[in-house]
Amino acid sequence: MSLKNVLENWSDYRKGHEQGGHHDYEHMWVMAVDLDKCTGCNACSVACYAENNLAVVGKERMMKGQGMHWLRVERYWDEPQIGGDDGQFQSAGGSFLPMMCQHCNAATCEPVCPVAATYHTPDGLNAQVYNRCIGSRYCSNNCPYRLRYFNFFSYYEESWPEPLNQQLNPDLSVRDKGVMEKCTFCVQRIRTAKDTARREGRAVQDGDAVTACAQTCPTQAIVFGDMLDKESRVSKIWAKQQVELGKTKQVKANPELRGYRILEGLNTDPCIMYLDRVREV
Amino acid sequence: MSGNDINRRDFLKFMGLGGAGAVTLSGCDMPTTVTLEEGKEEVVSYLAPEEYVIPGIGVWYASTCQQCPSGCGVHGRVREGRVLKLEGNPDSPVNAGVLCQMGQASLQGHYNPDRITKPMVRKGGNLTEVSWEEAIELVNSKVGAANGKVAMLTGAMSGHQAELMDTYLAKIGGKDHFVYETINNAVAEAVNAEMFGSAQPRYNLDKAGAVLSFGADFLATWVSPMHFSQQYAKFRTGNRGVLIAVEPNMSLTGANADMWVPAKPGTEGVIALGVANVLISKKMVDGSVLPVDALATISQYGVDKVTAETGVGGDVLVRIATYLKERSPSLVLAGASAQSNTGGSQVVAAVNALNILLGNVGKTIGAEDAFPVKSLAPRRGSSAALAAFAKGADAGDYEVAFIYNTNPLYSAPAGLELNGKLAKVGLKVALSMFPDETTLAADVVLPLASPYEDWGTQVPGYLPSEGGLNVQQPLMRPLYSTVKGLGDVLLVLAKAAGAEELNQYADFYAYLQAGFAAMPASIKGGMSDAEFWSKSRQKGFVAVANSQGSLNVKVGDLAQVADKAGSDFPMHLAPAARAGMYDGRNANLPWLQEQPDPITKVFWDSWAELHPSTAAKLGVKEGDFIRVESAQGSLEVQVYVYKGVHPDVVAVPMGRGHDEYGRFASREKGVNPLKLIGGDVDAKSGELALYSTKVRVSKTGRSAEMPRLGGSESQVGRRLVSTVSADVYRRTEGGGNNVA
Amino acid sequence: MLNIRIVSKLFDSGMRVVSRRRGLMALLMACCLGLGSGVAQAEVPNAVAPKGTHSGEHVPQPIDFPHDIHADINGINCMYCHTYARRSKVAGIPPTSKCMGCHSVIATDKPRIQQLTEYWEKNEPPRWKKVHDVPDFVHFTHEKHLQRFVFENEGMNVENVDQVCAFCHGDVKKMTVAEKTKPLTMGFCVRCHEANEGPSDCWHCHK
């Protein structure tokens, strides 16, 4: 969508998602993350560093919350659903939560950007256009998941001393200070998959586009794919869990099913569905 | 995106290792922040590329990850002559397409700014850059005069490099090749060999309904984590197995357990026998599978005695026993915290006996597959090897010692007093990529090519069925023209030592190619030599019909060794291994330094884990510095307080606290718990008892903010990570109901 | 014959995106002003003049490669040497082996060829200077443009591919060492995208 389009269709654009979205979507990239399979091992996060030219900022800046981990694995000790942790020990382990941009279809970050540097693509992605970004940080302040990362400094100057810079992925930019960045669902890999399919004269198939995190996940807890492809693995998982896009509250025929979206009640319509962690109780 | 169908043949023709047709292609499409100024950036073409190499399009080549001994297959994405990204090789029987954080970050070792690029020789006390010729000549002359008093100290090895190292060692009359790994499974290997007739039996977590792990962190550091992670995923689907972890402080595996039970290191065997006792006394299993002596021993470990010795209550023992029985077949594993004790062998014996009692042998524990070509088989690491080397060095047995792929001056327990002993070796030759502690203490430093610049083969230490010989091939031309591959260095040395049979090989590549041609027909599967060589490189490994051994169950004495009581040092030290820093080898990889530890979420620095009750007694809270003292020394470190550690244990993970090792390891130093560890060993196997050291913990009064990922540790009632009971899961998705 | 609607006047003075740190405000203003009026502005007040130039500044190259001799006098198709253009995002500098394919026999007495032969014998390709460059946050692919304007373009003959190339690269046939004659700014791209209904999604071209 061009900026012109954004401006001309502003109100549709904000309201559209509940009627299936303003766009004529070509794809709707979504994820399913099984928290019972996720072991919290960090492989996804490091794969993201490798794929997306994420800067290493060092201890001091990490402590100030300036880490650039587009995919961070959160860990909680309490389990509110199965009743507290009053015991003497952490007897059911920890709760791990891989958090990356939720690519909300009604993203709260998008309308507050003064220059439309963040917007929704016809692929259902929440895009961040680095060269358009002026660094107002409104988007980050408006993100309920805290998944946008700001370049407060020129991190790249210290992050890749030669020859580490030779590892940088040429398919996406190295961001300089003053720019907001976040998980893109590995848009460069999606782009490559689409280009390859086009070159081979076929449609994009399930499994052509895989994000770096989903690819490397040792337990394959992350599944990525196109929701518009009814045969894709991910859309089958969503369907099986009776979770639908475009809803503020899911009405499930079987309320015991594990699928849920985080902070769904905020009406952000996130594109990542999580599946409950399971424990013997 | 995967490129497994790319024809891999003739790769080297344009990558330059083959000699003619070298190419450099830096600068082309390299991301920078310089933009849009004509005449500023350079474009360099290929010299003579293969047809399928197209600038702007990544090509994937197969190789093998060297970051730990488990031998995962990787695909490296190569574009414009640079390797950019690694992914698991989907065909690999070890990891089937997935890769852990260490594998992902291994590229930062390859591109590390602190790599050694020139050979060095100690002159007048200082390491001075010299030519390869001079360095090799010095080594040859010293080896020639050593009369066979030569030792090799290496990390885990296998394949053609190991074969060549043996040839060299034999030629110079040396016989001592010490294979040392800090993180190993050596005690269990010794006991398994005795009890099952198989040092490293095959485990099938995916077939188990319940897994009881005594400190075996199979999701992160134990034996073959990526292989077991895949089995774990299957274990958790369908009827969803139950995972029980018993360990001194929470490992990644423990954090995923349904039931986490704290135990003092060394008491795991008592708990295992306690569970066996419950199983027998409650008539859940038939005890007659065990010999009478063993049953007599088990009968002494009644619930009361076990609770008194370990603090684990009878209800917990019964619950564990019930899970193991009801979800049969089960699997019981022993990892570092259980093995690495003065009574470690006895703990493993008790764990194995529990497996036998539960009828798991033959179901979830299978016979080992031995790799048929003996000279290539894995040399698994142990710490007894380091102790033996230290002893030999101290006795003046070695005029020359080669040290490769291990950093003992960092990782040796203080009790071994290695510094002084190593100094008694006349000439220490380090074959190394990085200026680590050991390399900088060497007399000759030979800079090695990175694993992604070098040729080789590996047989994984834990060989899955269908597993075989992994091929390690260069993903790019060496970054520095002055480094050499391990095989090439060994070949030069062996030729100089008079190994005439090697003169026909111009380089290690030729040696390797001949080695493939010489493989038995059963492995080559009817292919011509050229086809076999080409296919193997393309695929990244050679599948081998391994010879299946059989398990012969033999149960010996199960009595547990009591803990040494000492009032000066009341607490146990757990030098926990974590994926990430691992045994310290990854401290120079910034991606891993910046990753918050999965459990404590600490980054870039060390920490000590304390239980809230212990912290309260000491009067410390998160971020306070404590002093941890053993008979060997002391260190000061910040505290992380949580309920995932036994109250009598202070856990300080290893991996940080390097004196040397480049800019990233020394930026934030951290502490090295191994420097508190004494020289105790497991009496039976001779393995260093890393978990037997007792310490005293005191408050320093200093405090600082903890370098920890921010945010609440509680979900404050929100549905962030929501948890449901396994009953609900089985109702909705159990059995064949599962989609994912 | 060429199925590209060429826009007569390109607005080329204001929309030059320069290195972020220096040109941020310029970019912002250019965006706002340009959109405010609904049409592209030929002149944007206060905008920073683009760095570099598109008026054909001579970039010294290791060898003064004569495009005119190859493409004009000898009529060699652009894609004969820039063979990757139809398959990849980059058109690619031809591999040295390709040059030597002809020049191991042709014109071996000429000093430039001798220079080339020297490189070849040293196993070292010449280090060319980039003339046509887009910022690193731009994802441009030659392949798609060639597909659209050459291979899927009815009436377009592959022999005349140089006319398509010339749209962005100028009349290279008449040059020796290639010189930049088109601005290659975002405005330059967008004009053509709008005229030919090319994609207008930001993430199509920005990375």
CA B338, B340, B342, B346 dihedral sign is: positive
Rounded to whole angstroms, the Cα distance separating A160 from C98 reads 35
Residue B398 has which token pair? 């070695």
Tens digit of pLDDT for each residue in B117-173?
999 999 999 999 999 999 999 999 999 999 999 999 999 999 999 999 999 999 999
Confidence of residue B644 (pLDDT cuts 50, 70, 90): very high
For the record, the structure tokens of A182 come out as 């976040």
Element (H, E) at B336: helix B336-339
Q: How many other CB atoms sit within 10 Å of the CB of residue C56?
A: 12
Helix (H) or strand (E) holding B203, with range, is strand B202-203
Strands (E), C9-139: 127-129
pLDDT score for B18: 26
Chain B residues in contact with A234 (beta carbon < 8 A): none
Q: Does A122 touch chain B (CB under 8 A)?
A: no
Contacts of residue A264, Cβ cutoff 8 Å, sequence gap at least 6: A247, A248, A249, A250, A270
User: Is A113 at the interface with chain C, CB within 8 A?
Assistant: no
**How far apart, in whole angstroms, are the C-alpha atoms of residue A134 and residue A83?**
45
- B634-641 vs B571-574, strand pairing mode: unpaired
Residues of B in contact with A85 (CB under 8 A): 643
Encode pLDDT of B21-34 as tens digits: 222 233 334 443 33
C27 touches A at CB < 8 Å: yes
Taking only residues 189 to 228 of chain B, the set having a beta carbon closer than 8 angstroms to any beta carbon of chain A reads 219-220, 225-226
Where are the extended beta strands (E) located within chain A?
29-34, 72-76, 95-99, 118-120, 126-128, 149-150, 180-181, 222-226, 259-260, 272-275, 277-279
pLDDT of residue A249: 87
Query: Percentage of chain B with pLDDT > 70?
Result: 93
Q: Please tell me whether residue B232 adopts helix, strand or coil conformation.
A: helix
The mean pLDDT value for B103-124 works out to 96
Neighbours of C163 (CB within 10 A): 18
Q: Which residues of B touch C94 (CB under 8 A)?
A: 45
The tokens for B738 are 């599962």
Q: Alpha-carbon distance A278 to A259, whole Å? A: 12
A-C interface: how many C-beta pairs under 8 angstroms?
71
Q: Which of C143, C65, A199, C9 is nearest to B43 (CA)?
A: C65
pTM of the model: 0.91
The confidence band for A23, taking pLDDT boundaries of 50, 70 and 90, is low
- Say which of A159, A169, A278 has its CB closest to residue B84: A169
Helices marked H in B19-75: none
Task: Say what the pLDDT of residue C50 is.
Answer: 43
Q: What CATH number did the domain enclosing A182 receive?
A: 3.30.70.20
Residue B100 pLDDT greater than 90, yes or no = yes
pLDDT in tens, B496-531: 999 999 999 999 999 999 999 999 888 898 899 999
CA distances to B321, B325, B354, B355, B356 from B285, in Å: 10, 8, 11, 11, 11
- Tell me whether residues C123 and B56 touch, CB distance under 8 A: no
DSSP assignment letter at A189: H
The pair of structure tokens assigned to A90 is 């952490």
Interface contact B256-A40, CB threshold 8 A: yes
| Strand pairing report for A272-275 and B723-725 | unpaired
pLDDT < 70 stretches in chain C: 1-56
Return the pLDDT at A19: 56
Dihedral of CA B141/B142/B147/B151: which sign? negative
pLDDT at res. B738: 53
- Cβ of C106: how many Cβ atoms within 10 Å? 10
Neighbour count for residue B166 (Cβ, 10 Å): 18
Q: What is the pLDDT of residue B33?
A: 37
Q: What is the pLDDT of residue B371?
A: 85
Tokens of B395: 């006795």
Residue span of the structural domain in which A185 resides:
3-29+40-205
Indicate the number of domains in chain A: 1
B571-703 has CATH 2.40.40.20 classification: yes
Using DSSP, state whether B187 is helix, strand or coil: helix
Output the DSSP codes for B412-447: S-GGG-HHHHHTTSSEEEEEESS--HHHHT-SEEEE
Residue B465 binned pLDDT confidence (cut-offs 50, 70, 90): confident
Mean pLDDT (chain B) is 90
Residue listed under structure tokens 């297959």: B73
pLDDT at residue B86, rounded to an integer: 97
Lookup: tokens for A117: 């540097």
C104 inside 8 A of chain B by CB: no
Whether A20 maps to a domain, the answer reads yes
Q: Given a cut of 80, is residue A243 above it in pLDDT?
A: yes
- pLDDT of B716 reads 87
With cut-offs at 50, 70 and 90, classify the pLDDT of residue A15.
low
| Exposed / middle / buried, residue B420 (Cβ in 10 Å: 0-12, 13-18, 19+) | exposed
pLDDT for the residue B54:
87
- Check B604 against A256: CB less than 8 A apart: no
- What confidence tens digit (pLDDT) does each residue in B222-264 have? 999 999 999 999 999 988 999 999 999 999 999 999 999 999 9
Residue B53 has pLDDT above 60, yes or no: yes
pLDDT at C17: 28
**Distance (Å, whole) CA C138 – CA B594:** 29
Under the banding of pLDDT at 50, 70 and 90, the label for residue B81 is confident
Minimum mean pLDDT among A266-275, B362-371, B448-457: which range? Answer: B362-371
Min Cα separation A54/chain B (Å) = 9
Identity of residue B164: L
Choice among A249-253, B463-467, B588-592 with the minimum mean pLDDT: B463-467
Instruction: Check CB contact under 8 Å for A162 and B229.
Output: no
C179–chain B nearest CA distance, Å: 9
Q: Phi and psi for B365 in degrees, rounded to 5?
A: -120, 115
DSSP state of C99: H
At the second CATH level, the architecture of B186-368 is: 3-Layer(aba) Sandwich (3.40)
For the segment B602-624, the average pLDDT, to the nearest whole number, is 97
> How confident is the prediction for chain A on average, in pLDDT?
90
- Give the residue, B17 or C118, on which the prediction is more confident: C118
Q: Residues B648, B264: contact at Cβ < 8 Å? A: yes
For every residue of B679-699, DSSP letters joined together read --B-TTT--B-TT--EEEEEE
How far CA B627 is from CA of B279, B620, B695, in Å, comes to 43, 11, 10
CB burial of B532-570 (b: ≥16 within 10 Å; e: otherwise) equals: bbbebbbbbbbbbebeebebebebbebbbbebeeeeebe
Summarised one tens digit per residue, pLDDT across range B301-344 is 999 999 999 999 999 999 999 999 999 999 999 999 999 999 99
CA separation for the pair B223, B378 (Å, rounded): 13
CA distance A182 to B533: 44
Q: In chain B, which residues have their Cβ closer than 8 Å to the Cβ of A46?
A: 101, 104-105, 591-592, 595
Please provide residue B89's backbone torsions phi and psi, each rounded to the nearest 5 degrees.
-80, 115
Q: Is residue A229 part of a domain?
A: no
Percentage, residues of chain B above pLDDT 90: 80
B179 SS3 class: strand
Residue with tokens 């075989």: B468
pLDDT of residue A8: 67
Chain A nearest CA to C189, separation (Å): 13
Q: Which residues of B480-501 are buried (b: 16+ CB within 10 A; e: fewer)?
A: eeebbbbbbbbbbbbbbbebee
DSSP state of B367: P
C161/C77 Cα distance (integer angstroms): 7
Delimit the CATH 3.40.228.10 region(s) of chain B.
186-368
Give the count of beta carbons closer than 10 Å to the beta carbon of residue A255.
Answer: 9
Q: How far apart are CA B643 and CA A121, in angstroms?
A: 45
Answer positive or negative: Cα dihedral of C190, C196, C197, C198: negative
B23-47: burial string, b at 16+ Cβ within 10 Å, e else: bbbeebbbbbbebbbbbebebbbbb
Q: Give me the residue from B38, B40, B44 closest to C125, CB to CB.
A: B44
3-state SS of B539-593 is HCEEECCCEECCCCCCCCCCCCCCCCCCCCCCEEEECCCECCCECCCCCCCHHHH
Evaluate whether B392 touches B361 at the Cβ level (below 8 Å).
no
C123 touches chain B (CB under 8 A): yes
Q: Does B591 touch chain A (CB under 8 A)?
A: yes
Q: Cα(B237)–Cα(B248) distance, rounded to whole angstroms?
A: 28
Nearest-Å Rg of the Cα atoms of chain B is 26
Residues of chain B with CATH 2.40.40.20: 571-703
| pLDDT value, residue A65 | 92
Q: Could you tell me if B545 and B371 are in contact, meaning their C-beta atoms sit under 8 angstroms apart?
A: no
* pLDDT at position B35: 43
Q: Minimal CA–CA distance to B17: which of B446, B451, B431, B453?
A: B453
Which chain A residues contact residue B95 at CB under 8 A? 218
